[in-house]
Amino acid sequence: MEKVSEILNSNLEWSDVERFLYYRPYHYHVLIKKTNIGHPKESGYKRSYGEYNGEKYDWRKTLIDGSCAHVREYDTYYIVHRDRVNPDDNLIKHIALDSLKSLPKILPFIIPILLLRYNYKLVKKKRLRRSIK
Give the pLDDT confidence of 67-117 residue by residue, as tens digits.
999 999 999 999 999 999 888 887 777 777 777 666 666 667 767 877 887
- Record the pTM: 0.73
Band (47; pLDDT cuts 50, 70, 90): very high
> How is the chain split into domains, by residue range?
6-89, 99-133
Band (50; pLDDT cuts 50, 70, 90): confident
Say what percent of the chain tops pLDDT 90. 47
Q: Where are the beta strands (DSSP E) in 52-121?
A: 57-62, 68-73, 77-83
Q: Is 72 exposed, middle or buried (0-12, 13-18, 19+ CB in 10 A)?
A: buried
Distance CA 71, CA 30 (A): 10
Give me the count of residues in the chain: 133
Give the DSSP H or E segment for 113: helix 103-132
What is the predicted pLDDT for the residue at 128?
80
Distance CA 91, CA 82 (A): 15
Nearest to 34 by CA among 8, 58, 53: 8
Longest dimension (CA), the chain: 52
Band (44; pLDDT cuts 50, 70, 90): very high
Distance CA 18, CA 63 (A): 8
